Structure 1
């Protein structure tokens, strides 16, 4: 029975990621990019106001899986690693386009910038579960986004 429950759980994580990835790609297919990035990054800090929106995911199932199952579960680790890799690939592509358009600074690589944004959004998602000073979180996000500005 535990194996069946585990399988359902990991299938749910995969499905969650597929939906999130489609949303992420759509959100980042805009110009200018920085407002879209800010929206993505602020989501965990704004759960209180988004909680009534049925179409908005509540928390991060990939982040929760990381906290609960990684590294002791090899399959969960693979799912999480793939999800984080796809997040950085998608963000990197968007940042590369924004650098070419002169919107985003070229002082660091888009890969490093995307990795930083992954750490911010996942860290914020985890911290927000324990309670959060929303104004401080939003100020930190604004600082990160401003740091990307050309």
Structure 2
């Protein structure tokens, strides 16, 4: 989710990026496995804040904007390195790829609040990750 950094290991900057991206993208689809309380997943804090408070609350809007910008910056940098290493396609810019991933993770987070077909969500994530593969 936007607060989670995507980066290759400091110990091994050549570590593949796509498995890490897939792990982050699957979190909203797997909330029922990851939450400690029994019940319907409630989505992520940033996604919920966006849906419920933005744009009426200026402070919430600033926090959300900063979170989305930071997610996109971190993912863009990681994708740029992965493109240079030949792991990720260079058919589109790392910035556009990072924006797409932000929209996917936030969309899944929002949909998870109403329940979702986990296998369909994971198949969609796999498709997105496969499209990034060089």
TM range, smaller chain: 0.7 to 0.9
Question: How far apart, CA to CA, are the structure 1 residues paired with 2:46 and 2:39?
Answer: 17
How has the CA–CA distance of structure 1 residues 115 and 140 changed in structure 2, closer, same or farther, with 3 Å as cutoff? same
Superposed CA deviations along residues 54-96 of structure 1, whole A, max 9, x for unmatched, are 9999731011100110011111111100100000000000000
TM-score of the pair, normalised by structure 2: 0.84
Q: Which has the larger radius of gyration?
A: 1
Structure 2: 5+ residue runs without aligned partners?
1-13
Superposed CA deviations along residues 79-128 of structure 1, whole A, max 9, x for unmatched, are 10010000000000000000010000000000000000000000000001
How has the CA–CA distance of structure 1 residues 34 and 57 changed in structure 2, closer, same or farther, with 3 Å as cutoff? farther
Structure 1 runs of 4+ with >2 Å offset: 52-59
- Aligned pair count reads 121
Between Structure 1 and Structure 2, the one with more helix by share is: 1
Question: How far apart, CA to CA, are the structure 2 residues paired with 1:53 and 1:39?
Answer: 21
How has the CA–CA distance of structure 1 residues 35 and 56 changed in structure 2, closer, same or farther, with 3 Å as cutoff? farther
TM-score of the pair, normalised by structure 1: 0.75
What RMSD in Å do the two structures reach over aligned CA positions? Answer: 2.7
